[in-house]
A and B are shown apart, each in its own frame.
Chain A
């Protein structure tokens, strides 16, 4: 039995604050994606490097990122490292947690994409006089990013939704944090969360549509 009177006016009055929060959410998500993609490329290179210790570092990263809850990773980035005297603000902790997670997942996506690219591509590049790194940079990487473009869009959406875990490390400026604060203040739980859900939906929809347009432009040929 659900017995609740919706009072939209009171909740909608808080919309500007929630939209400010949405901007912070976007900031965290975009930053974590940009850094995450760079890190994932580096992790992929480490795995390809042929050096066992380097590959082991990359494998360990991916294993932890993929096989433990994101909540745990964010919590550790705040309270875990603090046990060693390293203090990060909630914003940075959240960013580190999500980026760590993003990099792990994206590295796996990239690995999958690489498997779809035949070795002969590298050899063709080498035969043209490119170094190993040049062949990767000019021939493999563009194809790899193209193949993993859709999973990357997925990961971006996931990153946006993951910002909601920031409340566990004292984050109150992102969309979910703002909503939770307003909820505690007014007790208008269901209106506020409904509004937040609509904003989250709108953001992810814009991201996926944007990605589709970008893909249409990038992958014309």
Chain B
């Protein structure tokens, strides 16, 4: 009887210890599925092909991560404003959603090291004669609400003291408004600008130059206290670059010169 009690107690203890030790990384591996939040109206990072299948840099990146973990990838379409609710309500495990790693946001979620870097480009409606970033002064400009470039552009419009700023909910709406002439110009990541101008869906607009904003580093994100997972993500980003997979994906979806993911002179 004593041995039985002891065994039972030990079994309970082991079970308790087991659940206490299992972290998010273990959960993902044992569940067999990695659910990624991906923004699918943000070409070439995330979009849908003719048969409505999600494709893009972020989609491939999620697939690579799942393969590394030895699980199936599940792409969960998540518009920009819904990234955090999706993570907090447990609908996704990790965000592969071109998310700028701002300090303000890092108070809420945990970021990996940067996995991609964007240059900012100015796209203008051809009829406005805007040919550079400075020409935007006094015009009606806009960007996708809450993005890195929207925050910087709104601040710039306020600094100029003239002109209007309008945030739209999706990148598609921004380019629609731009091609309709509701917006005179927009600042977006250069990859997205090129993809949309070349898509032919929006007439009368051209990429006219670079915006003098800092490089927009974007990172993978997970819950702030999932250290095991965040640690894995850091190493994964590093490995993608080391193995040449990052360069391969960049060439496939974007092309041109590979952006540097590190900042000289500092760690992290």
Contacts and interface: CB of A to CB of B under 8 A. Distances in A.
Nearest to B99: A187
Nearest to A183: B81
Interface string A162-174: 0000011110100
Contacts of A79: 173, 176-177, 180, 182
A167 B177 contact: no
B209 interface: no
A188 B88 CA distance: 11
Interface string B63-93: 0000000000000000011011100111000
A2 interface: yes
Interface residues of B, number: 31
Contacts of A85: 181
B169 to A, nearest CB: 6
Contacts of A4: 88
B107 interface: yes
Nearest to A187: B108
A45 B182 CA distance: 36
A188 B108 CA distance: 7
B105 interface: yes
Interface of B: 80-81, 83-85, 88-90, 104-105, 107-109, 142, 145-147, 150-151, 164, 166-169, 173, 176-177, 180-182, 223
Given A169-B168, A180-B146, A188-B108, 17 more contacts: A2-B88, A3-B223, A7-B108, A79-B180, A82-B181, A87-B182, A167-B167, A168-B173, A170-B166, A172-B145, A180-B81, A181-B145, A181-B167, A184-B80, A186-B108, A187-B108, A190-B85
Which secondary structure dominates chain B's binding surface?
Answer: mixed
Which secondary structure dominates chain A's binding surface?
Answer: helix
10 contacts: A78-B182, A79-B177, A79-B182, A85-B181, A87-B182, A180-B81, A184-B146, A184-B147, A185-B105, A186-B104
Contacts of B81: 180, 183-184
B84 A82 contact: no
A188 B173 CA distance: 25
Contacts, number: 83
A13 to B, nearest CB: 12
B173 A87 contact: no
A3 B147 contact: no
Q: 8 closest pairs, A vs B, by CB?
A: A184-B146, A170-B166, A187-B108, A82-B180, A4-B88, A1-B90, A187-B105, A189-B84
B90 to A, nearest CB: 5
A51 to B, nearest CB: 36
Contacts of A90: 166
Interface of A: 1-4, 7, 10, 78-79, 82-83, 85, 87, 89-90, 167-170, 172, 177, 180-181, 183-190
B88 to A, nearest CB: 4
Given A82-B177, A170-B142, A185 B104 contact: yes
B88 A186 contact: no
Contacts of A168: 168-169, 173
Contact of A189 (B88, B167, B168): B88
A190 B164 CA distance: 29
Contacts of A7: 107-108
Given A2-B88, A170-B166, A185 B146 contact: yes
B177 A189 contact: no
Contacts of A170: 142, 166-168, 173, 177
Contact of B88 (A83, A172, A190): A190
A180 B223 contact: no
B223 A82 contact: no
A189 B80 CA distance: 12
B189 to A, nearest CB: 16
Interface centre among A180, A187, A190 (most CB of B within 10 A): A187
Interface centre among B81, B109, B142, B167 (most CB of A within 10 A): B167
A2 B90 CA distance: 7
Contacts of A78: 182
Given A183-B146, A186-B105, A172 B90 contact: no
